[in-house]
Chains A and B, each alone.
Chain A
Amino acid sequence: MDFKTLVPGIGILKGMALTMRRMFQAKVTVQYPEVVQDISPRHRGRLQLLYDEYGTLKCETCFQCAAACPIECIDMGGVDTKSRFHVHWGPAEQYAERREESALRRSGRPVPDRTFDPFAAIDTAALDRILAEEDYDPRRMLTILERTQDAYGSLTVAALKHISHGTGAWYAEIYGTASFYDHLRLEEASGHVFAICRCPACTFRGAGRVVAALEAALSTRFGQASPEGAVRLESGACHGASPERALVTLDGEVVHDVAPDAVARMASQLRAAHATAGRA
């Protein structure tokens, strides 16, 4: 142990001189509530959805982020573009349209929440059987979904969740599959159904004009329901059964007067009846 190195020598004194100098320099502390540091525009930590300059939400609920998330922590909630399907699950704090509502809810104030209904549970016995028969195989998703729809009438949220848990496929994927196919319904079939055959024979007899008139009357498109869900337009099959006029069925029963205005009038009446019935 040589003398120079342990007796308080030059090194220690230099160090102490440095700290004494630093004592009088400007301090680097940022006094937080009074001074807020700028956040870089690329900062990813803000849990909020952005609005564009017109005030509309930029998020289109395209599920890309949910599909890409490594830990599958993103759940989506949204309404489709014609405000017909409400898809709601997952914690409301995280996403899309319910952030403000969940903040309201957490604040203890009552929340008027038309779009959020906790999804109803289902009896999973039938679904378990289906899944077991399909061997919990996500590659047979279409079959599973069709059988579930047959068993339950529509693909409810609870059913899709159960399928997700059983097969291991992501909910987002299953939802995507379900919404891709026309014959799969995500909500209960409700209201009246106009089924129009689009085979060449019926079209030759004026089914196209009937479809156009119904589309106008119901303000919807072929294959979908009217905005309030009262009446749906679907495609039917005449199987060659009606040679002299197009086949139009209302709730399974054949409509005899297939003039476009008559059918349109019928549709409007049904819509009006639906609008006044049962709604406060």
Chain B
Amino acid sequence: MSTTPQARVRSLDDPELYVETPATIFDAIPPYPPRTEREAEFYSVREGEMLINLGPQHPSTHGVLRVVLKIDGERVVDLDPVLGYLHRGVEKICENSDWHMVVSHCDPLEYIASMFSELVPVMAAEKLLDVEVPRRAEYIRVLACELNRISSHALFMGWLALDLGGLTPILYGFIERDEIVEMLAALTGQKLLFNYMRIGGVNGDLNHEFMSRLGDWMGHAAQRIEDSQTLINENEIFVKRTRGLGVIDRETALRMCLSGPPLRATGIPYDVRRAHPYGVYPELEFEIPTREEGDSYARYQLHLDEIKQSIHIIDQVLHKLPDGPVMAKLPRLLRPRPGRAFAAIESPRGQYAVYAMSDGTDQPFRLRIHDPSYFNLQSVGLLTPGHLIADTMAIMASLDPIMGGVDK
């Protein structure tokens, strides 16, 4: 901390700042002049305030996310998330690759729930090609997606508890996730980035090992998940730390373009599966769980409700699964008609959409990916000021961002 009086108000015009003294060497203030008004306002520190980096290397930012906090003691006054540490140029890469290869490029966007991130460009391509996907393939897609949703939610609940200090729930969450992921490995061949969706269907049919594992799991799934959650559901400390924290009201939620559990926790029953139905969801019955409070605890409870709904959907799918091919007949070299297509699905984090532009060649002209975590994460800046540093974690964890999607 500099002791010279004129450096108290540290604005970026201050020439002292460009000198690397021991006081400034580790400062969170960037060494270039502010580029926007918001930057200038944020990086000018008043008396008693401190800029601290919740840096890209941190046990609790969900991936590589840098958050610059302006704190006054323990209280967060302002918050500036800095993105881009995981930017891989996926959209640009997709412009240079085949329509078929887009699947494996978009896989690691939402790496925890990669069925969803693969499904969306595939749906966009199918719209451009006017392909009719066989019904069996549609049902298998729903099955795989709902399984992936459950595993993603199981992990979310573990993460939330881990960020709050509990060491055990995340391991219980991983036990659940392990079972599901082994199942999906029997089906697709991989455990994390499945590369299963294909334009016109899916990669391979269900096999015996997958069905037997699924049967074993379905027998005790709901009970096991409930059981593991008794650890934190009513735990007074957990409730104290999440209830009333990060409350979003409906107008703010709509203004910030939230989607998914953060939106439904405020009471708005918007689910892409019902609002803009795709696949065979119109034939399946399930409810859209909502909560009214809009705080972190409500979001946590909502994930539990969604897991139950997903299990219900899987049940129906298994009963209604038709026979048939799992992939439509398509040429190897795909040339969709020139045009644009928009495809949106409901991923565990919210509305996951792709706006695809094709120019008639075998490479997409542009693939713009609308990832829910990107929009959900923005609200962290609105929700945290006024709370303590420890609450930053609770709020961020409850919004469930995946940095792969945020940074693309």
Interface residues of A (CB under 8 A from B): 4-12, 14-15, 18-19, 28, 40-45, 68-70
Partner pick for A44 among B93, B190, B227, B237, CB 8 A cutoff: B190
- Ranked nearest first, the 6 interchain pairs of A and B with the lowest CB-CB distance are A11-B234, A70-B101, A42-B189, A40-B186, A44-B189, A15-B231
- A42 (CB) vs chain B CBs: closest residue: B189
Chain B nearest CB, measured from A195 CB (Å): 39
- A11 and B188: CB pair below 8 A? no
Q: Which residues of A contact B175 (CB under 8 A)?
A: 28
In the complex, B153 has a CB within 8 A of chain A:
no
Q: Give the docked Cα–Cα distance between A10 and B178 (Å).
A: 30
- B234 and A14: CB pair below 8 A? yes
Known: A14-B230, A68-B101, A70-B105. A6 touches B236 (CB 8 A): yes
The dominant DSSP class at the B interface is: helix
- A5 and B240: CB pair below 8 A? yes
Size category, B interface = 20 to 34
- A5 and B101: CB pair below 8 A? no
Q: Give the docked Cα–Cα distance between A70 and B239 (Å).
A: 47
**Can you sample 15 A-B contacts with CB below 8 Å?**
A6-B240, A11-B234, A11-B235, A12-B235, A15-B234, A18-B227, A40-B186, A40-B189, A41-B209, A42-B185, A42-B204, A43-B190, A68-B98, A70-B93, A70-B101
Interface residues of B (CB under 8 A from A): 93, 97-98, 100-101, 104-105, 168, 175, 178, 185-190, 195, 204, 207, 209, 227, 230-240
Chain B nearest CB, measured from A151 CB (Å): 31
- B196 (CB) vs chain A CBs: closest residue: A42
Chain B nearest CB, measured from A104 CB (Å): 29
Q: Which residues of B contact A45 (CB under 8 A)?
A: 189-190
Partner pick for B188 among A4, A18, A42, CB 8 A cutoff: A42
Q: Which residues of B contact A6 (CB under 8 A)?
A: 236-237, 240
Known: A11-B239, A14-B230, A14-B234. A42 touches B187 (CB 8 A): yes
- A19 and B188: CB pair below 8 A? no
Q: Give the docked Cα–Cα distance between A44 and B104 (Å).
A: 13
- A43 (CB) vs chain B CBs: closest residue: B189
- B97 and A10: CB pair below 8 A? no
- A5 and B236: CB pair below 8 A? yes
14 more A-B contacts (CB under 8 A) besides A12-B236, A28-B178, A42-B207? A5-B236, A11-B238, A11-B239, A12-B237, A14-B234, A15-B234, A40-B186, A42-B187, A42-B189, A43-B185, A44-B195, A68-B101, A70-B98, A70-B105
Chain B nearest CB, measured from A43 CB (Å): 5
Q: Give the docked Cα–Cα distance between A99 and B120 (Å).
A: 37
- B175 (CB) vs chain A CBs: closest residue: A28
Partner pick for B209 among A8, A12, A40, A44, CB 8 A cutoff: A40
- B171 (CB) vs chain A CBs: closest residue: A28
- A28 (CB) vs chain B CBs: closest residue: B175
Chain B nearest CB, measured from A108 CB (Å): 34
Chain B nearest CB, measured from A161 CB (Å): 20
Partner pick for B232 among A15, A44, A68, A69, CB 8 A cutoff: A15
Q: Which residues of A contact B190 (CB under 8 A)?
A: 43-45
Chain A nearest CB, measured from B276 CB (Å): 29
Chain B nearest CB, measured from A177 CB (Å): 16
Q: Which residues of B contact A4 (CB under 8 A)?
A: 236
- A10 and B234: CB pair below 8 A? yes
